[in-house]
A and B are shown apart, each in its own frame.
Chain A
Amino acid sequence: MATITLDTVRKVYAGDVEAVKGVSINIADGEFIVLVGPSGCGKSTLLRMIAGLEDITTGEIKIADRLVNNVDPADRDIAMVFQNYALYPHMSVYNNLAYGLKNRGMKKAEIDRRVKEAARILEIGEYLDRKPRALSGGQRQRVAMGRAIVREPAAFLFDEPLSNLDAKLRVQMRVEIKRLQRSLGTTSVYVTHDQLEAMTLADRLVVLNKGQIEQIGSPIEVYDNPASTFVASFIGSPAMNLLEVKAGEAGLGLAKGTGLSAPNPHGKPAYKLGIRPEHLHVVDGQTVPDGHLSITATVNVLEPVGAESFVYASFADGGPEIVIRVSSHARHQPGSTLQLTADPANLHYFDPENGQRLTG
């Protein structure tokens, strides 16, 4: 168990491609950190630098207060779970688990105890004699996890471990990984591009974009107060509605199209205005209170997903489309007009130029 410290870590590949641009993160002992971002944001590179599989161009990485920049991957006291499991195809499950321990000169009895224990926790005891090719995807995933557990390392590193599983198994393994990490209390760094996986697993999320940190925070913090339009659109599904608005005579109006009026608390001439789909409410026959958001839009599509439905509606005069979460009982016909409102506390104002959140 250990803390992990990243201090202005940079990675520059040949040809001056800067994959990671000065990232600093302090990871507490036992914390579950999820690095999330679109492909090419540098999250995997960052993880591989912690593992020692990639050189660090500049900056420092410390594991348990020990500088590991030039330490061999095998000596960093970390275990990694790979996306394609990376099991040794010529070894039995037992030997896959035992390999890392044997190479560290551990006694046979202790290896056996640890392998059996991991097999019991992961319920792979009956496959110990099998080769990986005789296992299903989910079982291979468990073996890959087992290989990390038996090491009892200072930290687990997960590189999109669930992306090769089908949807149902993914949810099941997600829950198991979380339960396992909680019970072992091992510091973990988890890389994913799936924002739902990130939200459900993380103690703290690190949202990365183009090699830089956009925001660090607990999943709820990040969801409730996205630091930028990038985070706002990346975290949450369906994504937050982002509308270009400008100041008019009475508050804010759409930059293109009509049907919106919003308060202007920051006194600027233009914003990107963010509203989550669930914060938009349909107003039936009532008037919108003064100073609240008011939207008039025409329904395009009603998309039921079971527990809830999503309405896609457009503003008049060529305005943008927005998404509204409604109850599954709602019956909004395409073509009908909706009157919507939202609490001013749930409106997010972003700088139209750099996309940064405006506060105060």
Chain B
Amino acid sequence: MKKVQFTSLSMPYLLLFPQLAIVGIFFLWPAAEAVRSSFYLEDPFGFGSTFVGFDNFVDTVTSSDYGRTARFTAVFTFFVTFLSLAIALLLAVKADKVLRGASTYKTLLMWVYAVAPPVAGLIGLLLFDQHVGPIVDFVALFGWQMQIGVNYYDTATAMIIVSVWKQIPINFIFFLSGLQGISKSVQEAASIDCRSGFRRFWTVTFPLLAPTGFFLLIINITYAFFDTFGIVDVIVKAEPGNNPVTLVYKVFLDGFRGNDLGGSSAQSVILMILVFILTIVQFRLIERRVHYT
């Protein structure tokens, strides 16, 4: 690549400024503000705040409600990540084998990606509607009376299904391009060395997809943690009641519905730390086993 030299020292900083400003104003400042307010008990109407030390954190961690939400978030993240990766991989492997009309299949499978999360939630909600939802009607044939927004497990199931459905396309695109990046002759060499296509997939194709898979794993966990906010919001209609919510949604509920800004800030600080640890663990542990070609 050609190396560009700037004649004046201020030019590169000037060019970087917009990005740095965005990072500063929209990420660092709010994060710092959250950390600060997590140590204060805020008056709900903004008349004043009292420094309370770690009380907000202690209250948060010891509340049974928070534990319940954390457990649900863990289960939710696991299912969303696992299912959306597994289904997308299966679709990508099958689409990779299709020769005739391949681009049509691929376009159709990628379409969902263009749908915004709240819209996906809304479509999901219609699919799971108590009166007209086809999925509810379908499972009713097997004797399962789904009650979204009423039954805890039914709501959780719907949330997971909609979240998975929304995330499959992006995983599909990455897996497909990953598959197409695997050398044709390596696959042919494998077909001479190994008769079973299933075994060939797990011993050659899958390890070679590992870099893509690792990247997607991080993307998907982040998605399940944070980007499912819109879907959760539409499904529980901002009326949590007994419904399952994720940790991120709880931050919003406690802060803006419960007017507990301090407690909500403490929760978001915990989330920040959690994500930080998660990222380090992922890179340290998983990357070591991943082969980058």
Contacts and interface: CB of A to CB of B under 8 A. Distances in A.
Contacts, number: 65
Contacts of B291: 89-90, 131
A103 B189 contact: no
Contacts of A82: 185, 188-189
A83 B291 CA distance: 23
B203 interface: yes
B196 interface: yes
Nearest to A99: B193
Contacts of A78: 192
Contact of A103 (B183, B196, B207, B208): B196
Interface in A290-328: none
A86 B183 contact: yes
A73 interface: yes
Interface residues of B, number: 20
Provide the main secondary structure of the chain B interface: helix
Contact of A86 (B189, B196, B199, B207): B189
A89 B208 contact: yes
Interface residues of A, number: 24
Given A82-B185, A86-B185, A88-B186, A53 B203 contact: no
A108 interface: no
Interface string B204-219: 1001101000000000
B194 A100 contact: yes
Instruction: Output the residue of B183, B196, B207 with the most chain A CB within 10 A.
Output: B183
Given A103-B195, A103-B199, A88 B190 contact: yes
Nearest to A53: B188
Interface in B158-185: 183, 185
Contacts of A87: 186, 189
Interface string A39-75: 0000000000001110000000000000000001111
Nearest to A159: B185
Nearest to A84: B185
Interface in A124-146: 131, 133
B194 A53 contact: no
Interface in B197-237: 199, 203-204, 207-208, 210
B289 to A, nearest CB: 10
A103 B193 contact: yes
Nearest to B207: A90
A257 B167 CA distance: 75
B183 A84 contact: yes
A75 B291 CA distance: 30
B192 A51 contact: yes
A79 interface: yes
A80 interface: yes
A306 B188 CA distance: 43
B207 to A, nearest CB: 4
Contact of B191 (A73, A84, A89): A73
B186 A86 contact: yes
A74 B194 contact: yes
Nearest to A100: B193
B104 interface: no
A345 B28 CA distance: 90
B64 interface: no
Contacts of B188: 51, 53, 73, 80, 82, 86
Contact of B195 (A53, A72, A88, A89): A72
Contacts of B183: 84, 86
Nearest to B185: A86
Nearest to A103: B194
A74 B192 contact: yes
A219 to B, nearest CB: 28
Interface string A157-183: 000000000000000000000000000
B242 interface: no
A293 B231 CA distance: 91
B204 A88 contact: yes
A335 B203 CA distance: 67
Interface string A103-136: 1000000000000000000000000000101000
Given A53-B188, A82-B189, A99 B194 contact: yes
A145 to B, nearest CB: 13
11 contacts: A51-B192, A72-B195, A73-B188, A74-B194, A75-B195, A80-B192, A82-B189, A86-B185, A99-B193, A131-B291, A147-B189
Interface of B: 183, 185-186, 188-196, 199, 203-204, 207-208, 210, 291, 293
The 8 closest A-B pairs by CB, nearest first: A100-B193, A74-B195, A86-B185, A86-B189, A90-B291, A103-B194, A90-B207, A82-B185
